[in-house]
Homo-oligomer: A and B are copies of this chain.
């Protein structure tokens, strides 16, 4: 609270004129960050071909994750003990997930299991980067290759399925 107050040019106590508690501030930051991430993701040209769109979404997501590791922890690591986002700010997080889900479906990948693999591999890039080399790009620069690996795997699975049906 003291650090945050200083950052916005106040004493810690004055923050209570705007928020009723520390967790209310966390929740506001959680909400605002997810909205900012969503805003960036929705800026991606919708007319792009689906595969290029997925690549670009992945890159934007990872840029967002590594440009502020503390924000990344708040949003994706459940790092603050006893903090749970409110239903309203949680829904902003679900909107971000929906963006991924929709982009995958546009690539012909509608499987819920595939979406979990996607969040694991993309989230893994951010986790490794921020934990082992914050500020660097050793893992982030693998994003395009990992996206291609993912696409090859799940588009093959889909083709195999379609062939079985025909």
Contact = CB atoms under 8 A, between A and B. Distances in A.
Interface stretch (A19-27, A40-48, A111-119): A111-119
Nearest to A138: B116
Interface residues of A, number: 28
Interface in A71-96: 76-79
Interface stretch (A28-36, A101-109, A139-147): A139-147
Nearest to A145: B117
Nearest to A120: B124
Each complex incorporates copies of this chain amounting to: 2
Nearest to A127: B127
Contacts of A128: 116, 119-120, 123-124
Nearest to A112: B138
B131 A117 contact: no
A113 B131 contact: no
Interface string A121-151: 1111101100110000011001001101110
Contacts of A131: 76-78
A139 B153 contact: no
A152 interface: yes
Interface of A: 76-79, 113, 116-117, 119-125, 127-128, 131-132, 138-139, 142, 145-146, 148-150, 152-153
The 10 A-B pairs at the shortest CB distance, nearest first, are namely A124-B124, A149-B153, A127-B127, A120-B124, A78-B131, A120-B125, A120-B128, A123-B124, A121-B121, A123-B128
